[in-house]
């Protein structure tokens, strides 16, 4: 997937502007017929999220999506379910929503392959599906909304490699790779992006692991074994998100590894940002979840009215090669240097983001890095 990030940003802005024009719920105003307007005004929209171990879903994606739907269509209802890391459960949840008469499914799959059957069932009922954040391997998707996920892996690996070089870590030194879930297509892209940097960096991958269900506990258990095997040969840890990064850090602390090697992350979870301030984690990747959720909600409302946004989308290929009209947003690497200008400025944790980050244990670090 080679998509210019700059182009993706321009496309995202264009499609959001177009979709907003199309989707404000009204009493028959604009170009929407009276029947379509009436249907949209009372539409049910299904939101299916994949797991509970990743903090962002309950803390950010769900409330942002629901708030945007409410602002665009006060009479619309969001039916919500979380699969809790179970593809079969997600299948049942989706079938229940289809039975309840949803007009659109916004689906973040736990298993991008298994979720193709959900898309098939929705298509049979003429219900459009938006693949949210993670790409489903189905040619029948209507749209895909996410970030440039190879770019995420490249940002993580570049930050790690640059840090190792800055610290004078010699070429040939070892890196552990704690990848994401093998059932998540995004994790495959993160890993691909990371390898594109690490494999030509001069550093060596000692071992790598695809973490089932993104479970931090399983990441911790695996890293514990690697510490026993490789010890001081581990000079850096590529971790695909903040949860797996936290698991890796916990494993090394339990083994009394000191100093800790640089560890990457993703999602800018509050705990991850605090670990960065404490010096335990080196970086994370900030993904502006509010625009992602809001664009998904805007598009969902448009689809309830049988409308389509502008054709100005990029094409992203599924694992099976199908091209899906897509909106991709831009990820940003975050270290201590730009916490203030990213997650705090954007009020990522709410209007009191700085206060939530800068609890007593992190107050001195916040003062040092100008977080207020």
pLDDT at 100: 98
Q: Answer whether residue 97 shows pLDDT above 90.
A: yes
In this prediction, residue 11 carries a pLDDT of: 40
> CA–CA separation, 229 vs 227, rounded Å?
5
pLDDT tier for residue 109 given thresholds of 50, 70 and 90: very high
pLDDT in tens, 258-308: 999 999 999 999 999 999 999 999 999 999 899 999 999 999 999 998 887
Q: Which residues contact 233 (CB under 8 A, 6 or more apart)?
A: 173, 174, 206
Q: What is the DSSP string of 238-307?
A: EESSHHHHHHHHHHHHHTT-SSPPPB---S--HHHHHHHHHTS---EEE--HHHHHHHHHHHHHHHHTT-
Digit-coded pLDDT (tens) for 302-311: 999 888 765 4
pLDDT(10) > 70: no
Judge whether residue 157 has pLDDT over 90. Answer: yes
Instruction: DSSP letter for 53, please.
Output: S
Mean pLDDT of 46-65: 94
Is 0.85 topped by the overall pTM? no
Q: Which of 12-21, 93-102, 139-148, 283-292 has the lowest mean pLDDT?
A: 12-21
Q: Select the more confidently predicted residue: 312 or 134.
A: 134
Of residues 290 and 20, the one with the higher pLDDT is: 290
Instruction: Read off the pLDDT of each residue in 105-126 and give the average, rounded to a whole number.
Output: 97
Q: Which residues on adjacent β-strands are paired with residue 326? A: 144, 314
Residue 313: per-residue pLDDT: 84
Q: What is the rounded distance in angstroms from the CA atom of residue 207 to the CA atom of residue 201? A: 16
For residue 180, pLDDT beyond 80: yes
Q: Which domains does the chain have, with CATH numbers?
A: 5-147+288-329 (3.40.50.2300), 148-257 (3.40.50.2300)
Mean pLDDT of 169-185: 96
Q: Residues 317-361: pLDDT tens digits?
A: 998 999 999 999 999 999 999 999 999 999 999 889 999 999 999
pLDDT at 161 exceeding the cut of 60: yes
Report helix, strand or coil for 351.
Answer: coil
What is the pLDDT, as a whole number, of residue 20? 37
CB 332 within 8 A of CB 283: no
């Amino acid at each position: 997937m080679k998509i210019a990030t700059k182009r993706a940003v321009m496309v995202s802005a264009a499609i959001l502007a177009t979709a907003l024009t199309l989707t404000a719920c009204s009493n028959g105003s604009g170009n929407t017929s009276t029947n379509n307007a009436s249907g949209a005004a009372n539409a049910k929209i299904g939101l299916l999220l994949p797991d509970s171990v990743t903090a962002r879903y309950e803390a950010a994606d769900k409330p942002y999506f629901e708030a945007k739907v409410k602002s665009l269509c006060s009479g619309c209802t969001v039916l919500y379910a979380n699969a809790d890391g179970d593809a079969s459960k997600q299948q049942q949840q989706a079938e229940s929503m289809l039975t309840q008469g949803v007009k659109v499914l916004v689906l973040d799959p736990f298993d991008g392959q298994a979720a193709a059957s959900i898309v098939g069932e929705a298509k049979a009922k003429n219900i459009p599906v938006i693949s949210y954040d993670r790409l489903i391997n189905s040619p029948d998707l209507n749209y895909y909304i996410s970030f440039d996920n190879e770019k995420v892996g490249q940002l993580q690996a570049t930050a790690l490699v640059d840090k190792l070089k800055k610290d004078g870590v010699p070429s040939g030194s070892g890196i552990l790779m704690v990848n994401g879930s093998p059932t998540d297509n995004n994790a495959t892209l993160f890993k691909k992006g990371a390898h594109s940097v690490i494999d030509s960096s001069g550093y060596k991958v000692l071992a790598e692991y695809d973490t089932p269900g993104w479970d931090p506990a399983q990441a911790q258990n695996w890293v514990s074994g690697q510490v026993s095997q490789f010890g001081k040969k581990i000079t850096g840890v590529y971790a695909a998100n903040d949860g797996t990064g936290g698991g890796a850090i916990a494993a090394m602390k339990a083994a009394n590894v000191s100093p800790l090697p640089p560890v990457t992350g993703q999602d800018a979870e509050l705990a991850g940002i605090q670990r960065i301030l404490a010096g335990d984690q080196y970086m994370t990747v900030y993904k502006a979840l509010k625009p992602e959720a809001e664009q998904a909600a805007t598009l969902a409302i448009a689809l309830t009215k049988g409308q389509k946004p502008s054709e100005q989308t990029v094409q992203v290929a599924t694992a099976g090669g199908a091209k899906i009209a897509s909106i991709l947003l831009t990820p940003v690497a975050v270290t201590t240097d730009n916490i203030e200008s990213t997650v705090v400025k954007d009020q990522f944790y709410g209007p009191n983001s700085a206060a939530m980050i800068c609890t007593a244990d992190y107050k001195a670090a916040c003062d040092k890095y100008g977080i207020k």
